[in-house]
Amino acid sequence: MTSPQAPPEPLTDTPRDHLLSPRTRRALQAQDRLLQAARDYLHGEGFVEILPPLIGPVTDPGGRGAKQVDIDYYGHRYKLMTSGILYKQAALLTFDRVFTVAPNVRMEPLETAATHRHLAEFHQIDVEVGEAGRDEAMRVAQGLVCAMFERFGPWWENETGSAADGRPAPGRPFERMTHDEAVKRLQDLGHPQDPHTEIDWQGEELLSRDLAGPAFVTDYPKGSRGFYDREDPDRPGMLRNFDLLAPGGFGELCSGGEREHEYRRVLTRIRETGENPAKYGWYLDVLRQGIPPSAGFGLGVQRFTRYACGLDAVWQASAYPKVPGVMAP
């Protein structure tokens, strides 16, 4: 695997040429093995796979300028899912450990076409663990990444004659740093990262290039993420959440954290973000009646495939890529 140093290769192939490309064939074969490994690992950890909705009255509010897509659902304004986070939380009423593999649609800003790692339509492995905190979610995330590489690595070496050099060291815990520590590292590298916001795309890539292996970034400031990430009761203004960054400049693979699950706290957090709580009526009704505390994460399938295969851009890991602003079938 090599780090992406040059600007991403633009999507210029016709759909036919892309599907006939040996690179596409290899990437999709790798993706198939990675997904098989992910399902096997999660089932072994006691998770149940459920099929999430693709449309609903509300979805993850998202961030970083991405827009939601409205559709007409029998005269009602519904949304295409940007992620299934609210639904997997509710699914804990049925099972105490759930996961999904599902498409997400986010109208990313046009400038993200040049970041190597954004698609307007992508797939995500979403995981939620009932009665769990952040550390358990991080343990599952690390185990999932290692299990995926364990299945993928021998196949890749046989296919290419070279080792998958992004493979995590067996049994070695991933590095951890707080958001404050990540900001300090970026500022030392000359990047003017705002300490009060989510790490920006350029900073994320710079930090990723400076890593020796996968690393967790924890404790993002309140306001940088959605209302569902739990605020630390002992440290007001700090969230009990995390990102997982890949080394080599490949950036964020996974985001997660503990969830707010108490009705009044979630209602307050929604209002703090300036959103109308009425939009979240069904979700708030579920919370009012009570759901378990939980923690979870989402891992981008195409992003992980790009990282594992050392691809220049995330669109190369999709059979039918939707690059922001580029018309495609």
Give the tens place of pLDDT for each residue, 120-166.
999 999 999 999 999 999 999 999 999 999 999 999 999 998 887 77
Which pLDDT score is estimated for 260? 96
pLDDT band at 232 (very low <50, low <70, confident <90, very high): very high
Which pLDDT score is estimated for 8?
57
294 bridge partner residues: 130
Region 7-23: mean pLDDT is 82
In contact, 245 and 207? CB cutoff 8 Å: yes
Out of 110-114, 123-127, 166-170, 311-315, pick the least confident: 166-170
pLDDT reading at 326 higher than 90:
no
Strand order of the sheet with strand 55-56? Answer: 55-56, 76-80, 70-73
- 93 versus 3: the higher-pLDDT residue is 93
Q: What angle do CA 215, 141, 46 make, to 5 degrees?
A: 165
The pTM assigned to this predicted structure is 0.94
The predicted structure's pLDDT at residue 4: 52
Decide: 193 and 203 in contact? Cβ < 8 Å: yes
Give the residue-averaged pLDDT of 15-43. Answer: 96
Which residue has better confidence, 327 or 65? 327
What pLDDT does residue 9 have?
A: 64
Task: Determine what percent of the chain is predicted with pLDDT higher than 70.
Answer: 96
Most confident region among 201-205, 207-211, 292-296 by mean pLDDT: 292-296
pLDDT bucket at 2, cuts 50 / 70 / 90: very low
Helix (H) or strand (E) holding 299: strand 294-300
Work out the average pLDDT over 51-62: 91
* Confidence bin at 172 (pLDDT 50/70/90): confident
**Per-residue pLDDT for 5 more than 60?**
no
In angstroms, what CA-CA distances link 193 with 24, 186, 254?
35, 7, 20
Cα 46–chain centre separation: 21
Residue 82: its pLDDT value, please? Answer: 94
| Residue pair 311/27 in contact by the 8 Å Cβ criterion | yes
C-beta separation of 233 from 240 below 8 A: no
Residue 259, pLDDT > 80, answer yes
- What would the mean pLDDT of 296-304 be, rounded to a whole number? 98
